[in-house]
Amino acid sequence: MTAPHFTPRVFSGIQPSGGLTLGNYLGAIRRFVEMQDRGGFETIYCMVDLHAITVWQDPEALRKNTRELCAGFIAAGIDPEKSILFNQSQVPEHAQLGWIFNCVARMGWMARMTQWKDKAGKNSENASLGLFAYPALMAADILVYHATHVPVGEDQKQHLELTRDIAAKFNHDYGVDFFPLTEPVIEGAATRVMSLRDGSKKMSKSDPSDMSRINMTDDADAIAKKIRKAKTDPEPLPETAEGLADRPEARNLVNIYAALSDLTVEQAMAQVGGQQFGQFKPMLADLAVEKLAPISGEMARLMEAPDEIDAILARGAERARELASPILQRTYEIVGMVR
Ligand code: AQP
């Protein structure tokens, strides 16, 4: 349980490592907006550019992707007055606390992370040290605000558990109750949106195949084409949600349909169960265009004024530092640094 003296505070981040995908939108951003609008929490949302460079990023592309991500947050409903919205590298307290957590976390914990194993693959000798240490920096992103809740997609669950392990070990080693044990918030029909080409792989902005994902900047034709060509099996949709169990591609499309129409999977199946893909896919494409077009239109409009985006990020960073700085200073004191 989270200790009661922590202010209810939400933190989450997205890497500007490519364009935003439907997976990022349904699994993360849409839920960030809900938590902002629900009230009862301070909400802090971050473009984690220091995480992005754990794998190679072209500098120009990184700058563009960071601004585009900021535009995506705002277009999807994040209000930079209500929430703190900024990019990680403008708040040095993240990296500073990250170093301390590098000294708390154990090599064995990091080596067990499935994202490390997936991303480093067989070539781990050649992966960056940053990629290995990524989850310790992620713990710092969260704990430098004493965040109590983190909305994420299913894929980040293990990193959140590690964040709790780091907080608990720090508190134990130094005999304090300083860092909260943050709760993951993994909710909704689309906590894991899968690739349109392979139902066993998650939809990802850095997948080499553009046909595997729907980008938030895709136009109506591209969205319709990608859904039409999405891999499926030859059978029609089953009548009930249980029938989707061994059909990952069909399940993925139904999950997307359910999430976009704010239905549970069972409610969605009551509408579309038994349909042929020839009928279901165009319906899904129309729905996706209807829901995503206003967001991509607004993103394009915001991207015409990069100076305004930069001003929003600078102001957000200032507000973030006001929260992070005293927590970092107190951490240094606990650790025994002369101040
Ligand atoms: N396919 C997905 N389904 C549901 N949620 C997803 N998220 C990402 N992909 C899906 C959620 O989006 C948030 C931000 O993720 P990230 O950008 O920090 O890193 P990621 O999870 O590694 O996302 P990508 O798109 O796969 O990026 P790359 O390709 O650069 O690694 C997280 O909350 C994540 O759960």
pLDDT digits (tens, 9 = 90+) for 179-205: 999 999 998 778 899 999 999 999 999
Dist. CA 24 → ligand 1 center (Å): 5
Mean per-residue pLDDT over the chain, rounded: 95
Residue 204 lies in a domain: no
Residue 170 lies in a domain: yes
Pocket of ligand 1 (CB under 6 A): 14-15, 17-18, 21, 23-24, 27-28, 152-153, 155-156, 191-193, 202-206
Question: Do residue 216 and residue 313 come from a single domain?
Answer: no
- CA 132 from centre of chain: 19
Dist. CA 204 → ligand 1 center (Å): 6
**Cβ(29)–Cβ(14) below 8 Å:** yes
Question: Do residue 80 and residue 143 come from a single domain?
Answer: yes
3-state SS assignment for residue 12:
strand
Q: Is residue 169 flagged as an active site residue?
A: no
Residue 201 lies in a domain: no
Which pLDDT does position 158 carry in this prediction?
Answer: 97
- Closest residue CA from atom 10 of ligand 1: 23
Q: Which of 309, 312, 311, 289 is nearest to 300 (CA)?
A: 309
Assign residue 262 the CATH number of its domain: 1.10.240.10
Maximum CA extent, the chain: 69
Q: Is residue 119 flagged as an active site residue?
A: yes
Question: Do residue 132 and residue 258 come from a single domain?
Answer: no
**Pair of tokens at residue 250:** 């069909």
**Pair of tokens at residue 294:** 């206003």
64, 119, 169, 225: which one is catalytic? 119
Dist. CA 320 → ligand 1 center (Å): 23
Residue 51 lies in a domain: yes
Which pLDDT does position 2 carry in this prediction?
Answer: 47
pLDDT one digit per residue (tens) for the chain, 339 residues: 444 589 999 999 999 998 999 999 999 999 999 999 999 999 999 999 999 999 999 999 999 999 999 999 999 999 999 999 999 999 999 999 999 999 999 999 999 999 999 999 888 999 999 999 999 999 999 999 999 999 998 889 999 999 999 999 999 999 999 999 999 999 877 889 999 999 999 999 989 999 999 999 999 999 999 999 999 999 999 999 999 999 999 999 999 999 999 999 999 999 999 999 999 999 999 999 999 999 999 999 999 999 999 999 999 999 999 999 999 999 999 999 998
- Using CA atoms, how far residue 331 sits from 20, 167, 172, 328, in Å, is 34, 12, 14, 5
Q: Which atom of ligand 1 is nearest to the CA of 17?
A: 30
Question: Do residue 28 and residue 155 come from a single domain?
Answer: yes
**Cβ(241)–Cβ(266) below 8 Å:** yes
Residue 196 lies in a domain: no
Q: Pseudo-torsion of CA 12, 58, 199, 262, nearest 10°?
A: 40
Nearest-Å Rg of the Cα atoms of the chain is 21
**Pair of tokens at residue 267:** 């409610």
Q: Which atom of ligand 1 is nearest to the CA of 152?
A: 33
3-state SS assignment for residue 147:
coil
Per the structure, the count of domains in the chain is 2
**Pair of tokens at residue 41:** 């929490």
DSSP 192-254: SPBPSS-TTSB--TT-S-GGGS-BTT--HHHHHHHHHTS---SSPPPSSGGGGTT-HHHHHHH
How many CB atoms neighbour CB 233 within 10 A? 12
Residue 295 lies in a domain: yes
Assign residue 321 the CATH number of its domain: 3.40.50.620
**Pair of tokens at residue 194:** 């899968």
Residues 6+ positions from 280 with CB-CB distance below 8 Å? 237, 253, 257, 272
Question: Do residue 235 and residue 317 come from a single domain?
Answer: no
Question: Do residue 223 and residue 125 come from a single domain?
Answer: no
Best mutation site among 204, 212, 256 for ligand 1, i.e. most ligand atoms within 8 A of its Cβ? 204
Residue 202 lies in a domain: no
Question: Do residue 111 and residue 182 come from a single domain?
Answer: yes
pLDDT tens digits for 107-128?
999 999 999 999 998 889 999 9
Question: Do residue 256 and residue 328 come from a single domain?
Answer: no
Question: Do residue 295 and residue 309 come from a single domain?
Answer: no
Question: Do residue 69 and residue 157 come from a single domain?
Answer: yes
Q: Which atom of ligand 1 is nearest to the CA of 207?
A: 29
pTM of the model: 0.93
Q: Is residue 64 flagged as an active site residue?
A: no
Residue 198 lies in a domain: no
**Cβ(80)–Cβ(74) below 8 Å:** yes
**Cβ(144)–Cβ(94) below 8 Å:** yes
- Is residue 52 classed exposed, middle or buried when 0-12, 13-18 and 19+ CB atoms within 10 A define those classes? buried
Domain that holds residue 165: 9-191+305-335
Q: Which atom of ligand 1 is nearest to the CA of 206?
A: 29
Question: Do residue 297 and residue 321 come from a single domain?
Answer: no
Dist. CA 296 → ligand 1 center (Å): 19
Question: Do residue 24 and residue 129 come from a single domain?
Answer: yes
Dist. CA 162 → ligand 1 center (Å): 17
- Closest residue CA from atom 35 of ligand 1: 153
